Amino acid sequence: MQQVYFDNAATTQLRKDVISVMADVLYNNYGNASSSYGLGRLSKSLIENSRKVIAKLLNVSAGEIIFTSGGTEADNLVLRSAVKDLGVKHIITSKIEHHAVLHTITDLKNEYGVKVSFLNLDPHGNISLNELEQLLNSSTKTLVSLMLVNNEIGNILDIKTVADLCQKYSALFHSDAVQAIGHYKLDLQDIKVDFLAASAHKFHGPKGVGFAFIRKNAAIKPTIIGGEQERGLRAGTESVHNIAGLEKAMVLAYDNLEEEQNYIKILKSYFISELKSKIPDVSFNGLSEDMDNSTYTLINVRLPIAADKSAMFLFQLDLKGIACSRGSACQSGSSQKSHVLTEILNNDDLEKPSIRFSFSKFNTKEEVDYVISVLKDYIPV
């Protein structure tokens, strides 16, 4: 049976060069980075070099990169500290953010009584910049948290405009950039975001490591208490091999960005044209069909299948060797509907199966052809 992996928004295959770097560090650089002897100092040196390399790719200073276990921890660190330590009383966000943001904000509302405003969305899942500016026009200490690339429907936020608005009204701005880092160039000297979250396994790096960008002088305090690692902002012995793998994956992502972007864009465009040709009643959720205003790495497809036949649809695709998702990886095993699609689709459309196909450099047109042929078998004629 053919095996096709089209769930790269959930996680990605490691590059061989990343595995090689990690294996070398695991074998040769096993010292604790907090130790003062040679092996420890070598591990510390590797970590600090990785920090400098990553910072340079984002055009920030090394001290503004804090290594975490991934995007979820980075989101928690920023959001919780913003309320607890920076005096934020009002959070502006949307209902289609990742649950790492939404659930944390709910906890903060319950724990600290922080006010939460959810921006209205148009039928494609876009926020209104005018509404955002109206909400920002307040003397209340405010944090805006909006993701750069939506992990389910692929919409791209106008991050520079949002950052400029936040700066205009003296609000803090946090962006979950997990689906963007490694796929888009970001100059954080030009884009005045205060905080940003990233995760290595979204761009062919290892799981269990990511980072928070924290703008200098933000006065963030740790949420994990213990040692003084990560400039006192994240206690716990550093995972040196994972940090080295993160660095290598990010360097390779940006070294090969243009070539791989072009390849994946062609693949996505081909997938869309074949879907429209072979399944005429297919629909696309959010802006995922729009090659200019959605990420090139995914599409979210709504198929013309009756509700009574859609319940086991993903299972049937799995039996055919096709790995994809009906939403974010965090809820792919859940029976609940996608919280993102629930916000932008009507009840009838929600009953139809919506599938997220997400791509990488390792995918091929032949795999697209196979998936299209399998989908056609389930579409009524």
Structure tokens at 140: 């209340």
DSSP letter string, 125-187: SPBPHHHHHHHHSSSS-EEEE--SB-TTT-BB--HHHHHHHHHHTT-EEEEE-TTTBTTB---
How would you label 166-202 residue by residue, b for 16+ Cβ within 10 Å and e otherwise? beebebbbbbbbbbbbbbbebebeebebbbbbbbbbb
Dihedral of alpha carbons 186, 222, 107, 173, sign: negative
Greatest Cα pair distance, the chain, in angstroms, is 71
Structure tokens at 116: 């939460």
Task: Say how far apart CA 115 and CA 135 lie, in whole Å.
Answer: 12
The count of C-alpha atoms lying within 13 angstroms of the C-alpha of 191, restricted to the half-sphere facing its C-beta, is 21
Among all chains, which residue has been given the structure tokens 């997400």?
358
3-state helix, strand, coil in the chain (%, to 5): 45, 15, 40
Cα–Cα nearest to 312, from 378, 371, 374 = 378
DSSP code of 200?
A: G
Among all chains, which residue has been given the structure tokens 């954080």?
188
DSSP code of 89?
A: -
Task: Say how far apart CA 172 and CA 196 lie, in whole Å.
Answer: 11
324 is catalytic: no
Structure tokens at 281: 């009643």
Selected catalytic residue, list 26, 62, 224, 330:
330
Cα–Cα nearest to 248, from 46, 64, 69, 61 = 46
Q: What are the catalytic residues?
A: 330
